[in-house]
Structure 1
């Protein structure tokens, strides 16, 4: 077992391997510990819900994130049966809640399986993306 005395460490030159290790490891450890402060906008809920079966075509897609999002840098696309894209409006945020992205559906949606692909940039500038699906009967 190796025991290191604090006085011995203080007397070591910066060229000593242990000092170099401490000098490089400390900032790295601090950066890893502080990462949660730089959160990302994670999708918390969606309408229509993931894996749901809806009986009527939605007029608006609603995506709720864990933090505020920038609509100018966020986006959504929907593809339906046979991979046909659905026409959508530009995303906006709910005036009462900037963590809720709203996208109006402007094109027809026949019955079938739909995939929603989204990307969001949070107000702190971090980008996230994902997808989910739902069915329309």
Structure 2
């Protein structure tokens, strides 16, 4: 009887460990929202972009690039980590974006060591 109980406890511990490990393996910083939002047309030009992720990111190993419709980088951008919310990157632009289409390319390193990247588009009218 004790052997069966010990076996059940061991199997339960193994299953719990496997579940915990699989959840950690899936823990990557994914983009949850952006301002301007993906695939939108904004009527006012902005001097700041904000990207929010599912978990905190390492600013030193993360970055954002904004390119125009001709794939030329927007000049004068500076990316920083939000001082209060470490899952948020803020991109300050030297000047407002002109009317046109833009692509935002981002890459982040989450605090748990996983790298992710992606891109999205928006337009200024």
TM (norm. structure 2) is 0.78
Indicate yes or no: 2:118 matched with 1:111. no
1:36 to partner: Cα distance: 1.5
Q: Given that residues 81 and 113 in structure 1 are in contact (C-alpha distance below 8 angstroms), is that contact kept between their aligned partners in structure 2?
A: yes
Q: How far apart are residue 92 of structure 1 and its match?
A: 1.5
Deviations 1:82-119 (A, max 9, x none): 22210211x21111110011110125522111000000
Name the counterpart of 2:87: 99
Query: Matches of 1:31 and 1:126 in 2, distance apart?
Result: 19
Structure of larger gyration radius = 1
Distance 1:132 1:104 in 2: 17
Moved more, 123-132 or 104-113: 104-113
Match in the other structure for 2:11: none
Could you tell me how far apart the structure 2 residues matched to 1:136 and 1:73 are?
Answer: 29
Residue 41 of structure 2 corresponds to 53
**Bigger RCO of structures 1 and 2 (CA < 8 A, at least 6 apart):** 2
- Output the aligned Cα RMSD: 1.9
The answer to whether the 8 A contact 2:69-2:103 is kept is no
Inter-CA distance 45–103: structure 2 relative to 1 (3 Å threshold): same
Query: How far does residue 32 in structure 1 lie from its aligned partner after superposition?
Result: 7.9
Segments of 5+ residues of structure 1 without an aligned counterpart are 1-26
Q: Tell me the CA shift for residue 49 of structure 1.
A: 0.1
CA contact (8 A) 2:46 2:96 kept: no
Q: Secondary structure at the match of 1:97?
A: coil
